[in-house]
Structure 1
Amino acid sequence: MSRNSPAPDYSALLQDLTGVMPVERLVTDPLRRLAYGTDASFYRLVPQVVAEVRDEAEVKGVLAACRRHGASVTFRAAGTSLSGQAVSDSVLMILGSGWTQATVEDEGRRIRLQPGVIGADANRRLAAFARKIGPDPASIDSCKIGGIAANNASGMCCGTSDNSYQTLMSMRLVLADGTLVDTGDADSVAAFRASHAGLLDKLDDMGKRVRADETLAGRIRHKFAIKNTTGYSLNALVDFTDPLDILTHLMIGSEGTLGFIAEITYRTVPEHAHKASALLLFPDIAEACRAVVLLKQAPVSAVELMDRASLRSVEDKPGMPAQIRGLAEGVTALLVEARGETAESLSATLAEIGAVLGGVTTLFPPDFTTDPAEYGKLWKIRKGLFPAVGAVRPVGTTVIIEDVAFPIASLAAATVDLEHLCRKHGYDEAIIFGHALDGNLHFVFTQDFGIKAEVDRYARFMDEVAELVVGKYDGSLKAEHGTGRNMAPFVEMEWGAEATGLMWDIKHLLDAQGLLNPGVLLDRDPKAHLNNLKPLPAADALVDTCIECGFCERMCPSHGLTLSPRQRITSWREISRRAAAGENSDALRRLYDYQGIDTCAACGLCATACPVGIETGLLTKSLRGRRLGGAAHAVGQWTANHYGAAMSATRLGLSAAALVSKVAGPGTMAAMANGLRKLSGGRTPKVGEHLPTGADFTPPVNAQVGERVVYFPTCAGRAMGPASGDPEKDSLPTVMTRVLQRAGFGVVMPDGLDNLCCGQAFESKGLAATADAKAAELEAALFKASDHGRLPIIMDASACTWRMKTYLGERLKVLDSVEFLHDSVLPRLKPARQDQPVLVHVNCGARKQGLDDKMIGLAKACARNAVVPEAVGCCGFAGDKGFTTPELNDHALRHLAPQVPQGCEAGYSSNRTCEIGLADHADVPYRSIVYLLDRVTR
């Protein structure tokens, strides 16, 4: 689409799109459009329409509608792109559910993947075969295959030999004209060769002309000898003679400007289990780079370079090795990894590497470790660099990570020049690190795009960077992050007019109307990289360090229903900006109440994936507290003061519901309750067939002698018994006490049990002061019961354990039931493993405590078949959200039911409220993991 073309009629387009997909998957409200206007880059474009496509037919339908209306369209996978590839001011096509098929073939030697598969999930499928996909970007736990292929993303180990371009075997792709071709299917290929003979002939002719031009062909080969994602993959024209191969390899790295990758088949690469790493310190950059040149010929899998500023940025962080502190200026580090198929082959590899390193000077002798804990600490240095800058940047600035590549022979001089250039332009905080074997350097700095003078400084800096990389060293302006928007104006500078003209020819051939992701990869505007810069205004100290990378999104139960953590922060930033500027934000605030606040589970899992440790749920809870009126605070305080009575009322209510369920049946009881909910407009709670009964529990007499432990039965376990249809009838505290006593422990419970609470329920509502007051009461009771902290303290709900661990710090030692059962109880018992399969759910509280392996280990010690369902993270029940906002629970557990194994006895977890929603969606009972241990050790 030409810049001078009339603007599309988006109302007419939207009407057209309703014939392609359900209207509920066409996002038009201003809050979510704003939220989807952000990717991991420093650009913002707010789409007019966001279309959530579920299959290839919908992709073709959206493309057809956009062609009819002359509207541009951008494809988006995870939105972790760093160069602005995944934003649009027109139609943004996002992947809905249905794009996550992964098929392992030929004993793991190849894998067929749809674009919605997360890279790390593909590798998990391949782990049993000791294989992995070649690309290994740093964002592999979050980014999706569609983006990995479209950006030709690489990483620390794959270099130029194992990226998507090199490991591509076949592809299903949808062209701009709506044609679908599967290059792995002979019939599809034959049909395409017939229908698109003209297009293939032009590609064939283009390839022949390039290969015949020795100067141009040589130039292309030279450019791709190092990492290069600037512009299109012109190497396809010299590497292949079949125009279909040329086409598919041009799609790699095309950033959604040539077509839609609907499926890709990769040749996989070995994933050796035996690894060793060493941190090598050199007196200066020159010696480090001399070592890189030598190591290039050695059997190393990764060599990461870190300059002195990089080491300084993390040297005081927890867990960092002592040797990186207090180093002299100029000291440069190389983090080296080697791998082997066997321990013996690894030893031989290390000996070979040691011989190579004998030719260079290091500050300390090379010391390779094969201990996973030790080399994990070393890689923590490298992985902490980007967050280290992002977390300490001034509020209102963004953190930028650029990536370039130089010929290895020039790496030392180029690194020094790059350091000088950063200081020249006032980017004193900048750090430089990268994949040294490929001459690939990343430099990270902070930038304020809210001040014109700062934008001008950035523009001068980027001009000089381009001149340095291309003019002085003939390197790559983009090595692995993709050209995107911020290098599109520099493509001709790097490639020259002839090669760039070839790229424009490719674009026009495959996208004649120019509708696919315009402004990305190629742009004739020399200042395009300075347009649509994203503001990052102050919003709240709880989230101001957010860099909007999107790593959090895969953890969030509401992502795809309403907003993700990144989108909540983006939206609140805009609302805060408008408030500070005196602009009206009422419409956004009204939408945010539901999309941002009410549907946030506040589970905290986002923090476990966030590079800078942000827990967006803390913002949500703070906002909940701010919008509560005085009456709500008074009710919360009354409840806290009369907690025993509130728990008694809960038990009575559940007992009454259980009586109805017994008389009418669970299905009828649930239907009646939900009919009432519908009539009330959602004001009454949703009730499922697995609603708990009222708990029946009498605390035992406290043990006075023997190996005593303090057991605090949490509120949910004291109030909620098993569901009325569950074969188990005893309450959680009864079963926990029984198992502890069976293992030889004497159980002690704190005084005043009925009134005690950790405060979790109050905190989640935004009643922070009330929550902390209840936690303080509990602390005092636990302090007394544990003989001033001498006895172990066990809690039976992981969310509550996490709450008290966070609140108490080091004042008292509290243990989750999962860890105590695994570490201290299981070794004393002799479980008779049951044959019936069980489901295992590691809830958010357990995950945040790092108890995944212990929960699964307990289950596997008790059952021969313990199934952990894929793509089931936070259950979204969130205390009472499963009753009040059930769509959150429904969305979070949408993948659960199909994974229930035949003959499943039950599901097991460690949060009573989570278990309600899980049971409703799996249609089998869910209980605490202690019930399973009790069953097999009776």
Structure 2
Amino acid sequence: MSDLIQSLRQHLPEQQIIVDELRRLAYGTDASFYRLIPQVITVIESENDAKTVLTTGKRHNTPVTFRAAGTSLSGQAITNGILALIGEGFATYELNQDASKVRVGPGIVGGEVNRRLAPHGKKIGPDPASINACKIGGIAANNASGMCCGTAQNSYRTLAGLRVMLADGSVLDTEDPLSVDAFTKSHAVLLGELERLGSDTRNNARLAERIRHKFKIKNTTGYSLNALVDYEHPIDILAHLMIGSEGTLGFISRITYRTVVEDPFKASALVFFPDIRTACEAVIRLKPQPVAAVELLDRPALHSVENKPGLPAIMRELGEDAAALLIEVRAATAEGINERIAAVHAAMAGVATVEPMQFSTDPATCDMYWKVRKGTFPSVGAMRRTGTTVLIEDVAFPIVSLADATLDLQALLRHHGYHEAIIFGHALEGNLHFVFTQDFGDQAEVDRYARLMDDVCDLVVKKYDGSLKAEHGTGRNMAPFVELEWGKEATELMRKIKRLFDPDNLLNPGVIINDNPQAHLENLKPMPAAEDIVDRCIECGFCEPLCPSHRLTLSPRQRIVSVRELARRAAAGQPAGAIGEDYAYMGLDTCAGCGLCSTACPVGINTGDLTRRLRGRKLSDTSRAVNAWTGNNFGTLANASRLGLSVGHAVSGVLGDNFLSRISGGAWKKNMPHAGKAPVARSSQGDPVVYFPTCGSRIFGPATAGEKQQGDVILELLIRAGYAPRLPEGFDKLCCGQMLASKGMAEEAEAMSNTLEAALMAASDNGRYPVIMDASACTARMVEHLAGRLQLYDFHEFAHDALLPRLQLTKQAGPIALHINCSVRRTGSEAKLKKLLAACVEQVVEPAGVNCCGFGGDRGFVVPELNQHALRKIHDELPANCGCGVSTNRTCEIGLTAETGRTYQSIAYLLEQCSRPQDIAC
């Protein structure tokens, strides 16, 4: 054990220190194409933790890098020293009375801040494409912007105050007069030097004008030197230097933003032009107009998405020189929207377009337009050759030069053989992204990339005096070129700032300031072929906030990183080592397999599919035989499971739930359901419908003894609504195969699905009658399996479509908690579930930060810590007067009940109660 780790263990809890090779590898990756493996990872939950890390790093002369979400694209969130992961202790949120300011910690996701601000008609200014994954720490430290943010609403411009810890462990809170007073005394030398630098810079007319000119367009190359000319007070200078400093000057432990208005009315138009020049001329006309966003797409970008379902057919007919602008206007009123649309039409008068411009206020149409824009980057990533990576570079030009610069950039990419490259960007700001694929496993290809970047730098800086990094941060990627862009005098000023704040060069060294001219070509991340399911992964990290095991063990991105490393070792004839050993638990056992990652993944990867494949490969012959027997004798297994529940309740009645939970390793839950019973068919008159009670609802009965079985409740509801439900023959011996599929036994699971399909076909008269299932995970599996051969509905979908119009409901007051499980989210049926619940109850609580419950079929019994971790945020979100909840999956409800102490049941129970003239009794 190193002295460094021993020192950390003297001050931090063991669970906040990560030293295993697997997770050090996993966190050695961010969204860039670089990799550095940290010596140790510390999870910091407080400023005391951060100070411990900084002082320990200094004592051992080891660099420290603070990391939020790791969605950064330029290599600024990795290190070979101490990686300080910003924990949930920093996921703080505080809104002032009139919602004009929001005070947030660096550990909260930007999209979550906006979700909380939405009821007030506000949002934060920065709007990066990664906002649903990136955290405030990264947004501020990189001065992230986005499609609508521009330069007016980024972190620098909307900063109201911050709390920062410097390299020496001291803290400054710019909003606290006592803190400012104390810091002024303790750091008089630092502040005096900042004041002098600011004065000298403002008095240097040529340098001051250079700085002002550089920040007229988007620019995140180097430090925020505009702080020296925009502000005179050293506290203000210090605060604004921290924005965009990428963790190289200090740790921002809290920031206060001035919020901006989120207009409720929006309209979008996707306008096609015969060529880039015409499109860029239109941008210049639009710049002074009241437009929220203008996105430019060149012809290759349009090619990359033109065959997506639902997109305009004209996209496939455009000439090879064509381009498009996606224009959005926003307003507080419908009248305001019409006025802004009229203004855009007037500005565009006389500009040649392929077809007349048309704005739409229909949300679905606008969403389709934005899918064109947002789908370009992942389309290139998905189509790349295995073993290559996808790069997205980020530059900005003066808007008057946008047309020439775009054409020059296209020519440059072709000259270097990057024929797959596409260009798109935030045209109003002259900000272009260009995306291409790159093989870093071949030195000749690395050399080609180096030549390209040299020429790009010459084009951007020497020809157009633009920004080499507009919004993605300098990182390691552009650090060698800062002086090329800024010149020697301004770059030396940046070096002075770095030395002033970090004299030992221990805060994220090599980022922003780097004297190594080859730094952008070193520590390149390998991207070996691993598994076809995940080879398209671009390691962006968008999946992580949705994953129930993230920060317990691994996220989907980290599972893929690990599998790639294992594949690399196997191909090289190297042993898997500790990474292979640890992956069994961290990668396989604790993966819920929920597939929520696919809903956020730009290229649609379901890492649960990878997990199931790898689990199948690890099964022993004995395990495979046992599972195969299970599939062939499911009725026997169901009866044995019911018997086990009955015995468990008998034991817990004597020894208690806690004792039974302890000796079972957490498999026995508090409020464990009683043994279920198969529902009994009832004759009735009405419209025929088939109901298949899934095995979860048949095996696991209600939590309270004597309460109605779920299957009986659903039968009662169907009959009450005028349906004549029929049960498939031998249904108690049938299963969809989900239980075997989750263990990696795909063929055996498919056989079970086939058997169930035959029974459902027979019961529905070969698809004549609709079929209902009562567990969302099972329904989702069978919908995919059946591929439209049957009318198959999850219960909540059928209840919304067919039961609500036939039932007389007595609406209840509530509150009732709603858990939208992963299958409902993945299939996109949550809107119907919400509407169904809203028809039953006045007050609904939907806990923030809770996605998949982590029960994952049997995972909640086998690795209960996954369920506990996934639901760790639910406790603070449920009000004391919320005594019960609803969902649509029996095992999810078991985990939710055990963790919250509230009874969660199928929404069928609530619907049945509300369709009777009596109150809920939760």
Give the TM-score range, shorter chain. Answer: over 0.9
Match of 1:253 among 231, 235, 244: 244
Q: Which moved more, 1:15-24 or 1:462-471?
A: 15-24
| CA distance in structure 2 between the aligned counterparts of 1:110 and 1:857, rounded to whole angstroms | 33
Give the structure 2 partner of residue 753 of structure 1: 731
Distance 2:22 2:350 in 1: 60
Give the CA deviation at 1:93: 0.3
Matched, 1:669 2:649: no
Separation in structure 2 between the aligned mates of residue 188 and residue 586 of structure 1, nearest angstrom? 50
CA contact (8 A) 1:151 1:482 kept: yes
Instruction: Quote the Cα distance in structure 2 between the aligned partners of 1:145 and 1:82.
Output: 16
Partner of 2:675: 694
Q: Give the structure 1 partner of residue 510 of structure 2.
A: 519
Distance (Å, rounded) in 2 between the aligned partners of 1:289 and 1:759: 55
Q: CA deviation at 1:769?
A: 0.7
1:433 counterpart SS class:
strand
Give the alignment's Cα RMSD to 1 decimal.
1.2
CA distance in 2, matches of 1:179, 1:412: 48
1:298 and 2:289 are equivalent in the alignment: yes
Instruction: Find the counterpart in structure 2 of residue 878 from structure 1.
Output: 856
Distance 2:717 2:441 in 1: 61
1:390 partnered with 2:381: yes
* SS at 2:425 equivalent: strand
1:902 Cα deviation from its structure 2 partner: 1.9
Structure 1, unaligned stretches of length 5 or more? 1-9
Q: 2:713 aligns with which of 718, 735, 759?
A: 735
- Please point out which of 241, 263, 275 is paired with 2:266: 275
Q: Identity of paired residues, percent? A: 56
Aligned mates of 1:835, 1:555 — CA distance in 2: 31
Q: Aligned runs of 1:138-153 on 2, under 5 Å?
A: 138-153=129-144
Instruction: State the partner residue of 1:506.
Output: 497
Q: How does 1:221-370 map to 2 (within 5 A)?
A: 221-370=212-361
* AA at the equivalent of 2:679: T
Give the aligned partner of residue 164 of structure 2: 173
The residue that corresponds to 2:197 in the other structure is: 206
Offset at residue 750 of structure 1 (A): 1.1
* Aligned 8 A contact 2:223 2:241 in 1: yes
User: Counterparts of 1:23-38 in structure 2 under 5 Å?
Assistant: 23-38=14-29
Equivalenced residue count is: 916
Q: Deviations over 1:590-634 (max 9, x none)?
A: 111011011111111000110000000111110110010111111
Does the Cα contact within 8 Å between 1:691 and 1:724 map onto a contact in 2? no
Could you tell me which amino acid in structure 2 is paired with residue 584 of structure 1? P
Bigger mean CA offset, 789-798 vs 859-868: 859-868
The one-letter amino acid of 2:698's match is: R
| CA-to-aligned-CA distance 1:104-127 (integer Å, 9 cap, x gap) | 113221111100111111111111
Which residue does 1:7 correspond to in 2? none
Contact 2:114 2:122 in 1 (8 A): yes
> What is the distance in 1 between the residues matched to 2:837 and 2:875?
20
Alpha-carbon distance in 1 for matches of 2:799, 2:348: 48
Cα distance, 1:702 vs structure 2? 5.5
Deviations 1:266-318 (A, max 9, x none): 01111111000001111111111100000001111000000000000110122
Q: Deviations over 1:533-563 (max 9, x none)?
A: 0011001001000000000000111100100
Alpha-carbon deviation of 1:650? Answer: 1.1
Tell whether the 8 Å contact from 2:678 to 2:732 is kept in structure 1 after alignment: no
The amino acid of 2:792's aligned partner reads V
Match of 1:192 in 2: 183
In the alignment, does 2:817 pair up with 1:839?
A: yes
Q: Does 1:590 align with 2:600?
A: no
Query: C-alpha displacement at 1:782, in angstroms?
Result: 1.0
1-side partners of 2:530 and 2:509: how far apart? 31
- Give the whole-Å Cα distance in 2 for the aligned partners of 1:286 and 1:836: 59
User: Partner amino acid for 2:426?
Assistant: H
Which TM-score applies when normalising by structure 1? 0.97
Report what 2:694 is aligned to: 714
Query: 1:876-899, CA deviations, whole angstroms, 9 ceiling, x for partnerless residues?
Result: 111111111111111111112232
Deviation at 1:156, TM superposition (A): 0.3
Shift of 1:833: 2.2
> Cα deviation per residue 1:70-128 (whole Å; 9 max; x = unaligned)?
11000100000000010001100001221111111132211111001111111111111
Partner residue, 1:449: 440
- In the alignment, structure 1 residue 576 sits paired with structure 2 residue 564: no
Alpha-carbon separation, structure 2, partners of 1:238 and 1:255: 20
1:441 aligned counterpart, secondary structure: strand
Letter in 1 for 2:134: C
CA distance in 2, matches of 1:191, 1:307: 54
The answer to whether the 8 A contact 1:657-1:693 is kept is no
1:572: Cα distance to partner? 0.6
Which of 71, 75, 79 is residue 84 of structure 1 equivalent to?
75
Separation (CA, whole Å) in 2 of partners of 1:762 and 1:174: 51
- 8 Å CA contact 2:88–2:108 kept in 1: the answer is no
- CA distance in structure 1 between the partners assigned to 2:681 and 2:403 by the alignment: 72
Paired letter, 1:652:
L
Distance in 2 (alpha carbons) for counterparts of 1:698 and 1:936? 21
Unaligned regions of 5+ residues in structure 2, if any? 917-922
- Code of the residue aligned with 1:223 in structure 2: it is K
Q: Distance in 2 between matches of 1:853 and 1:347?
A: 29
* Residues 824-861 of structure 1, C-alpha deviations (whole Å, 9 max, x = no match): 21222222222342111001111111122222222222
| Contact 1:696–1:730 (CA under 8 A) maintained in structure 2 | no
- Match in the other structure for 1:5: none
Q: Deviations over 1:144-189 (max 9, x none)?
A: 0000000000000010000000000000110111011111111111
CA distance in 2, matches of 1:904, 1:722: 19
Aligned residue runs from structure 1 range 528-547, under 5 A? 528-547=519-538
Distance of 1:471 and 1:106 partners within structure 2: 49
**What is the distance in 1 between the residues matched to 2:99 and 2:718?**
45
For residues 882 and 822 of structure 2, the distance between their equivalents in structure 1, rounded to whole angstroms, comes to 23
Please tell me whether the aligned partners of residues 817 and 878 of structure 2 are also in contact (alpha carbons under 8 angstroms): yes
Kept after mapping to 2: 8 A contact 1:837/1:864? yes
Structure 2 letter corresponding to 1:222: H
One-letter amino acid of the counterpart of residue 713, structure 1: P
